[in-house]
Amino acid sequence: MDTSLLFIQTLNGLQLGLLLFLVASGLTLVFGILDFVNLAHASLYMLGAFICASLTYAVGNFFLAVLIALPITALLGWGAERFVARPLYARDHLDHVLATFGLILVLDTAAHLIWGPEGIAVPLPEAFRGQIELSETLVIPTYRLVIIAAGLAAAGGLYWMVVHTRLGMLIRAGASNRVMVGALGINIELLFGLVFALGAALAGLAGMLIAPITEASIGMGNQVIITAFVVIIVGGIGSMKGAFIAALLIGLIDTLGRSFLDDIFKLVMSPDAAENSAPAISAMLIYIIMACVLALRPQGLFPPKVR
Amino acid sequence: MNKLLTAALAASLTATAAYAESVKIGFVTTLTTPAAVIGKDMENAVNLAVEHLGGKAGPLDIEVIFGDDQFAPEAGKQATDKLVKQDNVDFVAGYIWSHVLLASRKSVVDADKILISANAGPSQMAGKLCDKNYFSTSWQNDQTPMAMGEVLNKAGVKSLYLMAPNYAAGKDMTAGVERTFTGEIVGKDLTKWGADAQLDFSAELAKAKASGADGLFVFYPGAAAGAFVKQYQQAGLKDTLPLYSVFTIDGISLPKLQQAGFTDALGSKITQEWDPSLDNAANQKFVGDFKEKFGTYPSFYAAQSYDAIMLIASAVAAVDGNLEDRDALRAAVKAADFESVRGNFKFGTNNMPVQNFYLREVVEDADGNWTTKVVDTVYTDHVDSFAAECSMN
């Protein structure tokens, strides 16, 4: 196996992992801290992609479109908290699942009505369409590096906010004991609304970043939400650090599995059998990892300290 | 209130009885999920065909009921069952996806209804599972990639990397090109498919590039096509790893690729049994009216759906609207006495079309729209490789 291919595939895995982290971090904030199961979380990923795609054509620049679309998705997230989640906090998880599953159907249909069934391709600025040549055999699409940089920046910003700011402190405190924080005169409802909006903006950002690669399409969120749940289960529900490490882990395992599993299988079985079984096994790989983690550490790899 | 309801129900029942002078066609396609973009094109073509026929097939009114397969075999079978049992249609047509058609097949042919595929062409149904009630207005899956294999041989391509989705048609497509391509296959990736299909091909493209192949053969229909072509361009592979595709760059993906400026699509070579530029009266009328009505070139999905409705109408007219005599009706379908948009149309022993396959190139038309034109004929009156396995010989 040549090393430059391994290097490129590691970068590809890193890129996938960072996108997963953007989706999973919002999911774990809402699930771990607000104790609300939001299946529709990834619908914001889809809406982010669509809004950004439309804006790209309207303003003529992808990055400007991202900047405008971010507050819009945050606002949509806030609305989802206010009108769907808030009335249901006191109910059990099954009610959350039912309501947010309904929300997925509503948002998918709304997207169908607004943008049509065909999806939207998003053009990139000329500068990001090319490739960066690191060496003769190491060529990486520029835009993949942009995604990695944006993902790392968002992760860093989130870490700084949760650990070093007053808002982050309140989020952590609200998660531990919402009654006590409320008694101190903090508006818990506003705080939870902000958490939801933040999660929506992060998921939306992931959707916007992926749109120039896969295009904005209806139901694109449904593909990513299951993997995002795998990430937060592996990482430990409610843990940002866990979500970050697990997202990178899952991204790498998925990408490397797709790239090298058939070669590995060919060492122990006939090429035909390897060719047929490798795609099936690589699609299952992340679930196998999740099952192993659940068996050995049911609370996840990095559960939050205070629950 | 209840009495009123009963009365209304009774009235509606007698109303349907009065309208029995119609031929009912169930049409199964994908109306939700991103693949609905194909379903919409087929729906448009069906409606255009009915309009061109003046809503009549012989003495009968044409009634089309659409069913949604939701891009999943189990949902497709459910939609088919509903059309067969509840709506009691005479024909079931449509089907984009091979795995959906395979799952739905039994429900239709066992009920002695006539099944017409307007796209999917799984090898099994051309061979061992062929049936007197099953016809196709498309092709057997292997044929189009087989034609591409011949094109590659002619072009002097020595080694090839293959990519396709991991389902029935993806396997048929790679088998097809392997059947005729005389060079070496240096690698093959089958990617996850269905409602949660894999759409980021970074890992596979990196592998393909590292393989050192002369060319890349892909099959990515529907919404995946746009994603694939974009990533192919972003990876900068045009000069080192030329792209040869089937069912990927088509009337559906081209407008979007053009809108987003993915110029690598221009000049790419594809094989197909139909093209908007085919010079016959039926095709000119179809393409012209479709463009005028819906604003884009029809895709091959649309052409095959249009032909399916025209085929049904010709058969119903030939038996003068007597749908009870199934043998006569089947014989009339098999005669295929209609003006196909691909010129001559005839069925082989296994009820699959025996037809030409063309090499097409993506070009810009006079109005600046991206479309395709025929540059060569690869196969003339081609019979698929599975006809011999069919017991109807």
- Of B39, B188, B226, which has the smallest distance from its Cβ to A215's Cβ? B226
Looking at chain B, the whole-number percentage of residues with pLDDT higher than 90 is 76
Nearest residue of B to residue A227 by CA position? B196
Question: What are the chain A neighbours of B41 within 8 Å (beta carbons)?
Answer: none
* Chain centroid to CA B171: 16
Top residue of A19, A113, A122, A215 to mutate, by most chain B CBs within 10 Å, is A215
A28's tokens: 């774990």
Give the integer Cα–Cα distance in Å for A285 and A306: 31
ipTM: 0.84
A285's tokens: 């790989």
CA atoms lying within 13 Å on the CB side of residue A115: 27
Give the mean model confidence (pLDDT) for residues B192-212: 87
Confidence (pLDDT) at B5: 60
Contact B235 A143 (CB under 8 A): no
Write out the H or E segment, with its range, that includes residue B163. Answer: strand B159-165
Tell whether the torsion through CA atoms of A273, A276, A278 and A284 is positive or negative: negative
Contact B203 A139 (CB under 8 A): no
The pLDDT tens digits for A37-92 are 999 999 999 999 999 999 999 999 999 999 999 999 999 999 999 999 999 988 99
Distance from CA of B91 to the nearest CA of A (A): 27
Give the integer Cα–Cα distance in Å for B277 and B39: 23
Confidence check: pLDDT of A123 > 50: yes
Using the structure block, give the residue that is written with the tokens 């899952």.
A250
CA distances from A292 to A230, A288, A301, B117 (A): 12, 6, 11, 44
Higher pLDDT, A174 or B390: B390
Question: What are the chain A neighbours of B33 within 8 Å (beta carbons)?
Answer: 218-219
The pLDDT tens digits for B153-172 are 999 999 999 999 998 899 99
Confidence (pLDDT) at B336: 95
Residues 6+ apart with CB under 8 A from B393: B349
Top residue of A107, A120, A124, A214 to mutate, by most chain B CBs within 10 Å, is A214
Top residue of B201, B209, B228, B230 to mutate, by most chain A CBs within 10 Å, is B230
Give the integer Cα–Cα distance in Å for A107 and B270: 37
- Strand ranges inside chain A, DSSP E: 131-133, 139-141
Of B331, B319, B283, the closest CA to residue B304 belongs to: B283
A64's tokens: 């400007």
Give the integer Cα–Cα distance in Å for A276 and A264: 13
In 10 A of CB A20, how many CB atoms?
28
Distance from CA of B303 to the nearest CA of A (A): 19
Contact B223 A15 (CB under 8 A): no
Give the integer Cα–Cα distance in Å for A122 and A53: 6
Give the integer Cα–Cα distance in Å for A11 and A255: 9
- Strand ranges inside A184-247, DSSP E: none
Confidence check: pLDDT of B13 > 60: no
Give the integer Cα–Cα distance in Å for B242 and B228: 14
Give the mean model confidence (pLDDT) for residues A270-279: 83
**Greatest mean pLDDT among A174-178, A216-220, B103-107:** B103-107
Confidence check: pLDDT of A223 > 90: no
CA distances from B385 to B173, B305, B379 (A): 13, 24, 13
Cβ-count burial B130-160 (b if 16+ within 10 Å, e if not): bbebbbbbbbbbbbbbbbbbbbbeeeebeeb
- Rounded to the nearest integer, the mean pLDDT of chain A is 89
- Rounded to the nearest integer, the mean pLDDT of chain B is 91
Question: What are the chain A neighbours of B204 within 8 Å (beta carbons)?
Answer: 258-259
Q: How confident is the model at residue B7 (pLDDT cuts 50, 70, 90)?
A: low
Classified as helix, coil or strand, B141 is coil
Of B199, B219, B222, B221, the closest CA to residue B34 belongs to: B222
B109's tokens: 């042919």
For Cα atoms B353, B32, B246, give the angle at the middle one, nearest 5 degrees: 40
B57 forms beta bridges with B60
Confidence check: pLDDT of B18 > 80: no
Classified as helix, coil or strand, B315 is helix
A131 forms beta bridges with A141
Which pTM value belongs to this model?
0.85
The pLDDT tens digits for A160-171 are 998 899 988 887
Confidence (pLDDT) at B19: 44
CA distances from B48 to A250, B52, B293, B299 (A): 48, 6, 9, 14
Contact A226 B235 (CB under 8 A): no
Nearest residue of B to residue A261 by CA position? B189
